[in-house]
Amino acid sequence: MDLTTGAFCPPDAEDDPDGAAIYALAARLYPICRSITGQGVLDTLDILREHIDLNVHRVATGTPVFGWTVPPEWIVRGASLKGPCGRTIVDFADHTLHLVNYSTPVRARLSLDELKPHLHTLPEQPDVIPYKTAYYTDAWGFCMRHDRFLALEEGTYEVCIDTEKVSGHLTFADYLHRGQVEDEVILYAHICHPSLANDNCSGVALLTCLAERMRERSTYYSYRFIFAPGTIGSLAWLQRNEQRLNRVKHGLVLSCVGDGGGPTYKRSRQGRATIDRAAACVRCGAEEVSPALSDFIPYGYDERQFCSPGFNLPVGLLQRSAFGTFPQYHTSADNLDFIRPRHLGASFRMVQDMLQILEANWTPLNLAPKGEPQLGRYGLFSPMGGHKANSERVMAYLWVLNLADGDHTLLDISERSGMPFSEIAAAADTLRTVGLVSNLGFVRL
């Protein structure tokens, strides 16, 4: 990482301290070559441990995990491809994406034709390196820019992939923030991708900073932050925690939270879980963008495991741009220039707002339900109004007062009004302060 490029401190960092902290952590994680097992995961968890007190769990190679088996630990020392004149064509030391992740060891001299099936490029995006994996197989390969691939000459190529697959462990970690009750909200990020900033250094860094921030707060729910390799990691966590999954009341998988697109939210398999409803009632950034909502599909990240029919947990997926929809996805263009502190900060606040809905959803009762109260008498209406923010707040008062019949929670009112939960909750708090509504109790659905 070149400090002179300012990669650790982009120009918009000053405007968003939360985003800047998340960005700085993502930037530290970015260079590491992670995989589903091996040193990259350990190095990543070591960095996270500087921030939060992680519990690290290890599962031995060969252990059955539901229908899967924990794969060997992958050790990578280096990898290079040299051309006919001894010139280095690609080197793992230059970019972790150059080596197909989890490649078997190879030392060979091959003709260009023999080599080509092992070279991966993106003809449509000739100047980026694609990200490829060879999990659960014995394959190997290199990833490179397509324009460089087109320039390869006939001749003998020297392949050196200095890797090993050894009996070891799958490693994952969690951090528990204890609330008033043992019921849990699980927050999950995958830690198996190498140098890809949005997918998923952004998610890992955001959740770490959130866990850190939460330490200062007392909460109703307990919050379990899980950092694990994709698929096998979440399955191992589910297996280890199978007897206590009834405590999991809500959950969220986070990835790709550092770009300026979206936000997008994929509902849990249940479809109408509280977390699904909460996602519809938050807004993102200064522009207050509503998340684009989509129904559950059995493809994506680890929500697939949490939402498999044997568990069917209320776990959704929150992203900015949805995976697979942006050109930088799974390429070297998903780098530290692609994620921005202000986007990370906006995503951070959006997640906090979703959790606030789980924590602070109460049922208001209108104490003056016959007709609309004259808001001006309570200092809640300015006759000189016309201000947009002001008129929005008045609308929020009117919605809360009208639906505060004892049958509607603040979340119900937010959904019905189409107004953000935060706006409805702020209005309800004020109405309670002036004595127009009472709190019939918190509802943790």
Tell me which residues touch Zn ion (CB under 5 A): 199
Q: Which is nearer to Zn ion, 171 or 200 (CB)?
A: 200
CB of 36 to Zn ion, least distance (A): 12
> Which residue's CB is nearer to Zn ion, number 265 or number 421?
265
For Zn ion, which is the closer residue by CB, 265 or 301?
A: 301
Nearest in space to 318 (alpha carbons), one of 281, 356, 283, 266: 266
Rounded CA gap, 90 and 113, in Å?
Answer: 17
Distance (Å, whole) CA 29 – CA 26: 5
Helix/strand/coil (H/E/C) assignment for every residue in 139-185: CCCEECCHHHHHCCCCCEEEEEEEEEEECCEEEEEEEEECCCCCCEE
- To Zn ion, the closest distance from the beta carbon of 87 in angstroms equals 32
Tokens linked to 251 = 């959950």
Cβ at position 189, least distance to Zn ion in Å: 11
- State residue 326 phi and psi, 5-degree precision: -115, 145
Please, what is the minimum distance in Å from the beta carbon of residue 319 to Zn ion? 11
Task: Enumerate the β-bridge partners of residue 64.
Answer: 69
State in angstroms the smallest separation of the CB of 3 from Zn ion: 28
Nearer to Zn ion, 16 or 199 (CB): 199
Residue 331 C-beta: closest distance to Zn ion, Å:
11
Q: 169-177 and 55-60 as β-strands: parallel, antiparallel, unpaired?
A: antiparallel
Residue 292 burial (CB count, 10 A): 13
Tokens for 365, please give them: 């009762």
Considering beta carbons, is residue 200 or 417 the nearer one to Zn ion?
A: 200
Report the residue number whose CB is nearest to Zn ion: 199
Decide whether 174 or 199 has the Cβ nearer to Zn ion: 199
For residues 92 and 77, what is the distance between their CA atoms, to the nearest angstrom? 9
Q: Are 195 and 337 in contact (CB under 8 A)?
A: no
Token pair recorded at residue 417: 């009004």
- Supply the minimum distance, in Å, between the C-beta of residue 330 and Zn ion: 6
| Cβ proximity to Zn ion, 141 vs 179, nearer residue | 141
